[in-house]
């Protein structure tokens, strides 16, 4: 996987260079629209952003570019069929809404008045995600210009949602309802990043998520620990016992069958992770943490990228005010989340957890488990031909071997994967210093243009090397 | 210990009967004073209550009856030396302040306008604790009248505090500062109760208490469980692990040496507990609980009265709002209390806990332990001659064998025990239905008069059978 990349295409580079200025000017116009989905006062701006994007996609050449309404903010769908009927179909996913931002949060300039400084474009949404959506517009034009085509080498679709920064509440429904129009052979997610500015990487998977709340009921009211302590069950003790029993001494999750079916890292993947220039001290700073701790036998990167976990997100019970209060509390609560990896079934984990909890609680402790939701994991094997196309396109653009990462978090990409039943590829050029969700968000212009170039190479490579199966 | 009680003294009974009406009239006057120590608006009433009591004790015949100021509410001290210089000295403890009460809380009549109904006197403080303090005034007069003495058979002291319902914040200081005046051979606490109206009982001990808060520090801020979960220590997990590790499978406390030195129940005491008419279902209702649970090998009564325990009073960490939040929390907190029994040293438990916690936490989790305070346990052996006097006096008054209980809670009596280094006896005639701290508090008049009678017998019996050593 680390062969010398093919040389770049001079026609592609020339086209991109010629159009760079207009491209950045258009992106700047889009970034000026404060499409903050979390703020109802910006609902009109989110709609304006969708309409601006649909117009821009039509100008790019997409014969179809529609606003798709949801119960919340509108999404944009665009489609550009290939002139090769048998070509694979690829759906690009991104989002046009942005996080809230205000100068008062610590920005050096107006977050919605983009500024170019030192090769960087500063604006809310520059990296997350407008910049990364927009590089596909110049990318497909460069692809056509350099190859002399009038339609892309693949059937190209785009779905750019408007509520990602608000948790994509209507996205799964949208995908299910529009599954026919969204049908494809692969999804390309452009809402992620690379290892660092010097290290082009392709993310090959995301962990899934299933989370829940466990309510425990002991005495019908708090009771005096002198009169009753030591003789009645205490739900705070029981919550602690459940949480503590979730892991063994090796920090492995103890739920029966939890690891059944887990797609284990291959030796090749572990070796590739190990090749990344990982600075654990820097990682710990980013984690605001003071030591690593996790499943025995795995590195930190393996733990966060490729290992399933159980985490206590919250625990509560009894007295929490100042000083002491000698009670046996009436109730306690646990909030747990499980990160899952390919091969695990959230439904099975939920079912096991129900039995496991019920079996461990003593008489006199009532309980209730509420599952909040499930996001499935996704994983594209290193050997998948579509992934190999992406790696070649990126390597050609960057002129460097491409390395591999995964993403520990969980995202709406999994909904696309699940409903459409296709592999997910991650083409992102953002870097950790881009400041997603933070003041002074920016995108590195040199990397943004590498995104354009990767996009320009990808469609041709895919059509050449992959039949969509 | 269950021999047939001696017959009552007809002279004592006649005196009590003759003075019953005036005694109840005086008690009613005292109960009309709303001496609510928790409410600053009643500070004058608490003082008025103290002054009224001091006057009443002087009328009773106490040559000394003083108001003792504290930084809070005033206490009352009274002293009536015996005419036998070598007689033992006994200090009676009680309190003249009361819990808040208002008709709006659900009282059937004004809580500070005592009402006699069906052989019960309803008023705030009727049982807790004015009624039980006041029975000693008629008791000592009956003792003198029936024996023809002009001074009690023992050196009699009373300390009636004014802040018990507010946690006795200044009581330990008061006892330490006045230790010379309070010097005695035994303390008689009249602020407790009996098993039930049909079962006269003597409490032989109270559990002690030491409680603390453990703060755990993980990441410097909450961090994303997708990006970092499973690879950094989670303080909520660690709080749960500590709490869960406090008990073994037999619900015994696992702190090393926790049970060292514990004064175990004798077979006789266990047999005596077992003889009590204990209704576990009724007890569970009072505990608002749905099943018993505690240290293996012990009954419920043994667990709450005579066994040391560890209890989670509160646990908190991470997200506690509605729904889920996928974080590794930055902090967590445990509030623990330990009930101790005779033979245990709180200081040793605290020291062990410090080491135990530090040893169990992984690198990357900081912690801090704050101990709130310690109340020592107290225990008077069944064979103690002063206890035997109390049992005889009570048996004579009730005409029934006296049984034995203990108290699972912890109280200021232990401060008297500790500073004065003397045994504590519990002479209380309240019953569980008296509604301490609740609306419609009352005292059973028949039991109140048994309190008077027991007090009348106690001083002579003590002087006769005990030399104060």
Mean pLDDT along residues A455-469:
95
Please give the distance of CA B453 from its chain centroid, rounded to a whole number: 22
Neighboring chain B residues of A318 at a CB cutoff of 8 Å: 312-315, 335
Residue B12 belongs to what H/E stretch?
helix B10-31
% of residues, chain A, pLDDT over 90 = 90
- pLDDT computed for residue B409 by the predictor: 86
- Tell me whether A87 touches chain B (CB under 8 Å): no
Q: What is the pLDDT of residues A74-105, one digit of tens each?
A: 999 999 999 999 999 999 999 999 999 999 99
Looking at residue B288, what is its pLDDT?
A: 94
Band of the pLDDT at B204, cuts 50, 70, 90? very high
Judged against a pLDDT cut of 80, whether residue B2 lies above it is answered with no
Evaluate if residue A3 carries a pLDDT over 70. Answer: no
What mean pLDDT do residues B386-395 have?
Answer: 97
- Alpha carbons B235 and B231: distance in angstroms, whole number: 13
Can you point out the beta strands (E) in B290-401?
Answer: 309-318, 327-328, 331-340, 366-375, 378-379
> To which H or E segment does residue B136 belong?
helix B130-147
B7-64 pLDDT per residue, tens: 889 999 999 999 999 999 999 999 999 999 999 999 999 999 999 999 999 999 999 9
Q: Which of B219, B244, B315 sits opposite A318 (nearest CB)?
A: B315
> Among A446, A460, A449, A376, which Cα is nearest to A417's?
A376
Strand-pair category, B424-426 with B115-117:
unpaired
Give the H/E segment covering residue A387: helix A385-398
Angle (nearest 5°) at CA B354 between B348 and B357: 130
Domains and CATH numbers, chain A: 10-206+378-465 (3.40.630.10), 208-262+308-375 (3.30.70.360)
Dist. CA B323–CA A11, nearest whole Å: 52
Provide the pLDDT for residue A409. Answer: 87
Cα–Cα distance for residue pair B119/B141, rounded to 1 Å: 23
Q: Are B191 and B94 contacting, i.e. CB atoms less than 8 angstroms apart?
A: yes
Mutation site for B-interface testing, chosen from A293, A361, A370, A432 by largest number of B Cβ within 10 Å: A293
- Going by pLDDT thresholds of 50, 70 and 90, the confidence category of residue B415 is confident
pLDDT, residue A463, reads 97
Is the predicted pLDDT of residue B4 greater than 90, yes or no? no
The number of CA neighbours under 13 Å toward the Cβ of A92 is: 33
Integer Cα distance of B410 and B53 in angstroms? 26
Phi, psi at B329, each rounded to 5°: -70, 155
- Interchain pair B325, A316: CB under 8 A: no
**Residue carrying the six token digits 């993310």:** A203
> Quick one: which of B199, B276, B159, B203 has its CA closest to B444?
B199
For position B360, what pLDDT does the model report?
Answer: 97
State the pLDDT at residue A414: 85
With an 8 Å Cβ cutoff, is B366 touching chain A? yes
CA-based angle B38:B445:B452, to the nearest 5?
A: 90
| Residue owning tokens 């008023």 | B123
- Which of the four pLDDT bands, split at 50, 70 and 90, describes residue A112? very high
For B451-460, what is the mean pLDDT? 98
Q: What is the pLDDT of residues A10-53, one digit of tens each?
A: 999 999 999 999 999 999 999 999 999 999 999 999 999 999 99
With an 8 Å Cβ cutoff, are A329 and B318 in contact?
A: no
On chain B, the residues whose CB falls within 8 A of the CB of A292 are 231-232, 364
Q: Shortest CA distance to B406 belongs to which of B270, B279, B292? A: B270
The whole-angstrom separation of Cα B229 and Cα A289 is 11
Hey, what are A360's tokens? 């461990």
**CB-based contacts of B312: which residues, under 8 Å, 6+ apart?**
A234, A236, A237, A240, A317, A318, A329, B243, B246, B334, B335, B336
A307 contacts B228? CB cut-off 8 A: no
Q: What is the pLDDT of residue A437?
A: 87
| B218 touches A: beta carbon within 8 Å | yes
Q: Spell out which residues of chain A touch residue B325, defining contact as CB-CB under 8 Å.
A: 313-314, 335
Nearest Cα residue in chain B from A305: B227
Cβ–Cβ contact B232 with A under 8 A: yes
A293 touches chain B (CB under 8 A): yes
Give the mean pLDDT of A134-144: 98
User: Cβ of A361: how many Cβ atoms within 10 Å?
Assistant: 18
Q: Which residue has the higher pLDDT, A30 or B433?
A: A30
Reported as a single tens digit per residue, the pLDDT across B239-291 is: 999 999 999 999 999 999 999 999 999 999 999 999 999 999 999 999 999 99
| Residue among B311, B364, B369, B405 with most chain A CBs within 10 A, to mutate | B311
- Under an 8 A CB cutoff, do A243 and B245 touch? no
Contacts of B231 in chain A (CB under 8 A): 287, 292-294, 300, 303-304
Scanning every residue of chain A, which has its alpha carbon at the shortest distance from the alpha carbon of B341?
A226
State the pLDDT at residue A373.
Answer: 82
Rg (CA), chain B: 25
Query: Per the CB < 8 Å rule, is A314 touching B323?
Result: no
Burial status of residue B269 (CB atoms within 10 A of its CB: 0-12, 13-18, 19 or more): buried
Inform me whether the pLDDT recorded for A2 exceeds 50: no
pLDDT digits (tens, 9 = 90+) for A301-345: 999 999 999 999 999 999 999 888 889 999 999 999 999 999 999
Does B287 sit within 8 Å of A232, measured CB to CB? Answer: yes
Asked if B52 and B46 count as a contact pair (C-beta separation under 8 A), the reply is no
Rg (CA), chain A: 25
Q: What is the pLDDT of residue B3?
A: 60
DSSP 8-state secondary structure symbol assigned to residue B425: E
Write out residues 98-157 of A within 8 Å (CB-CB) of B.
none
Residues in chain A within 8 Å Cβ distance of B239 = 240, 315
Of A280, A201, A149, give the one whose Cα is nearest residue A2: A201
């Amino acid at each position: 996987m680390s062969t010398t990349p093919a040389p770049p295409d001079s026609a592609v580079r020339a086209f991109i260079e010629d159009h760079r200025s207009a491209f950045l000017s258009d992106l700047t116009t889009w970034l000026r629209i404060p499409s903050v989905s979390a703020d109802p006062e910006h609902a009109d701006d989110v709609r304006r952003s969708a309409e601006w994007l649909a117009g821009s996609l039509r100008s790019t050449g997409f014969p179809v570019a529609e606003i798709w309404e949801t119960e919340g903010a509108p999404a944009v769908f665009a489609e550009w069929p290939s002139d090769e009927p048998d070509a694979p179909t690829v759906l690009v996913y991104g989002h046009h809404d942005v996080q809230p931002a205000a100068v008062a949060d610590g920005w050096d300039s107006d977050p919605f008045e983009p500024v170019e400084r030192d090769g960087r474009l500063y604006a809310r949404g520059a990296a997350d995600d407008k910049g990364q959506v927009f590089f596909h517009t110049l990318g497909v034009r460069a692809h056509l210009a350099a190859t002399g085509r009038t339609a892309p080498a693949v059937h190209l679709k785009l779905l750019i949602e408007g509520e990602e920064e608000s948790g994509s509440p209507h996205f799964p429904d949208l995908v299910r309802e529009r599954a026919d129009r969204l049908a494809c052979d692969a999804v390309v997610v452009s809402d992620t990043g690379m290892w660092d500015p010097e290290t082009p990487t392709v993310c090959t998977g995301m962990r899934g998520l299933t989370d829940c709340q466990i309510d425990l009921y002991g005495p019908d009211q708090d009771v005096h620990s002198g009169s009753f302590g030591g003789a009645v069950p205490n739900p705070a003790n029981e919550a602690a016992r459940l949480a503590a029993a979730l892991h063994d001494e090796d920090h492995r999750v103890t739920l029966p069958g939890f690891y059944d079916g887990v797609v284990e890292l291959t030796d090749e993947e572990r070796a590739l992770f190990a090749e990344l220039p990982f600075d654990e001290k820097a990682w710990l700073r980013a984690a605001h943490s003071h030591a690593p701790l996790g499943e025995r036998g795995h590195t930190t990167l393996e733990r966060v990228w490729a290992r399933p976990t159980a985490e206590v997100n919250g625990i509560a019970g009894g007295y929490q005010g100042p000083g002491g209060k000698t009670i046996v509390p009436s109730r306690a609560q646990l909030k747990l989340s499980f990160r899952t990896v390919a091969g695990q079934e959230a439904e099975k984990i939920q079912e096991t957890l129900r039995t496991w909890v019920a079996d461990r609680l003593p008489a006199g402790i009532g309980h209730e488990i509420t599952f909040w939701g499930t996001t499935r994991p996704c994983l594209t094997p290193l050997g998948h031909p579509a992934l190999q196309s992406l790696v070649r396109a990126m390597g050609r653009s960057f002129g460097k071997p491409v390395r591999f990462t995964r993403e520990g978090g969980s995202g709406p990409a999994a909904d696309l994967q699940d409903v459409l039943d296709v592999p997910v590829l991650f083409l992102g050029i953002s870097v950790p210093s881009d400041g997603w969700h933070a003041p002074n968000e920016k995108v590195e212009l040199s990397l943004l243009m590498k995104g354009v170039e990767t996009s320009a190479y990808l469609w041709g490579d895919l059509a050449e090397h992959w039949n969509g199966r």
